Amino acid sequence: MAAKRCWPPVLALLLIAGMVGNTRAGNIAVYWGQNGDEGTLADACNTGDYAYVMISFLSSFGNGSPVLNLAGHCNPGDCARYSSDIQTCQQQGIKVLLSLGGQGGSYGLSSSDDANSVANYLWDNFLGGTGSSSRPLGAAVLDGIDFDIENGNPAHYDDLANALRAKGPMLLTAAPQCPFPDASIGPALQAVPFDIVWVQFYNNPLAQCQYSANGDDTDLVNSWKKWTSSVNAGKFYLGLPASTDAASNGYIPPDQLTGTVLPAVKGVGSYGGIMLWDRYNDGKNNYSGQVKGSV
Ligand SMILES: *[C@@H]1O[C@H](CO)[C@@H](O)[C@H](O)[C@H]1NC(C)=O
């Protein structure tokens, strides 16, 4: 019994080392906002699964009035109640960003002046600025801006990123498609160092960079190597569908992710974790729950 009360120090050290060995090496980021049945933003954060949540999307911007589209969650102009959810997330150390663009939507920057005015708008309405009396997400100050630009028009996103950087400290992240270079956000990624790049390894041509259904990760790993060696960014995340329903292709079963894919990408480049599309599908499939110990 005495041994239980005072374990030899060396045993205690081994136990501590074992615990450290189990610590996650990376984080999970998730998109929230495009499905009214996915639960609230606070619900997502309260799962404890995520380090980053991207509110999606500011689906219209540039040359006119920007529109926040949170699908079934709230009507544009009636989303300020999410301010307390944002604070609930931030109190847990979770970074909350606003994502620009998305697959639908109508957006684009026509000039560097246009980029500057969008930067001013974002700063005053979602970030640390005080120049707006009608902040769409209320008083909460978001941690940064995510560029999910998918419409093939890359003009002036470098100007927008630089103008945002000049406003004050914030996270700048981007979600390019996996074929390199990305048609939409590629030029900005070459011009401006982003904090995090979550590469979308889904909904893309099978032969170029996707995980194939027969378990072959060669194209994905080659693409990961290309991205992480060609772009100057703080961290890179493997962007994945959270279920077979979340995307038309690219789903990696949890056991294959943890068994073969993560070991292949973790040692290459500045690995930061995985990004999931989206919270709705993650909630249904419990993907995070099944992989988070290995991310
Ligand atoms: C998610 O999966 C993990 C790991 O298998 C399990 O421990 C957890 O109970 C699951 N959560 C839900 C809500 O099913």
| CATH, residue 124 | 3.20.20.80
Is residue 35 included in any domain, yes or no? yes
Position 213 scores a pLDDT of 78
User: Omega before 278 cis (within 30°)?
Assistant: yes
Q: Which pLDDT does position 115 carry in this prediction? A: 98
Per-residue pLDDT of the chain (295 residues; tens, 9 = 90+): 334 444 444 444 444 433 444 445 789 999 999 999 999 999 999 999 999 999 999 999 998 889 999 999 999 889 999 999 999 999 999 999 999 999 988 999 999 999 999 999 999 999 999 999 999 999 999 999 999 999 999 999 999 999 999 999 999 999 999 999 999 999 999 999 999 999 999 999 877 899 987 889 999 999 999 999 999 999 999 999 999 999 999 999 999 999 999 999 999 989 999 999 999 999 999 999 999 999 9
Ligand 1 atom closest to residue 286's alpha carbon, by position in its atom list: 1
Helix 112-126 vs helix 157-167: crossing angle, to nearest 10: 40
Q: Does 38 participate in catalysis according to the annotation?
A: no
> How many angstroms separate the CA atoms of 285 and 279, rounded?
10
Distance CA 30, CA 268 (A): 22
245 within domain boundaries: yes
What was the pLDDT predicted at 14? 42
Residue 7 lies in a domain: no
What is the Å distance from ligand 1's center to 287 Cα? 9
How high is the pLDDT of residue 5? 44
For residue 120, is it within any domain?
Answer: yes
Asked if residue 156 is part of any domain, the answer here is: yes
Q: Is residue 93 assigned to a domain?
A: yes
Cis? peptide before 181, omega within 30° of 0:
yes
Number of folded domains that form the chain: 1
The answer to whether the Cα torsion of 242, 141, 86, 136 is positive or negative is negative
Residues 6+ apart with CB under 8 A from 220: 178, 201, 209, 210, 211, 261, 265
Cβ(270) to ligand 1 under 6 A? Answer: no
Under DSSP, is residue 65 helix (H, G, I), strand (E, B) or coil?
coil
Which residues constitute the domain of residue 97? 16-291
Name 90's Cβ contacts closer than 8 Å, sequence gap at least 6: 96, 140, 143
10 within domain boundaries: no
Residue 151 burial by Cβ neighbours in a 10 Å radius (0-12, 13-18, 19+): middle
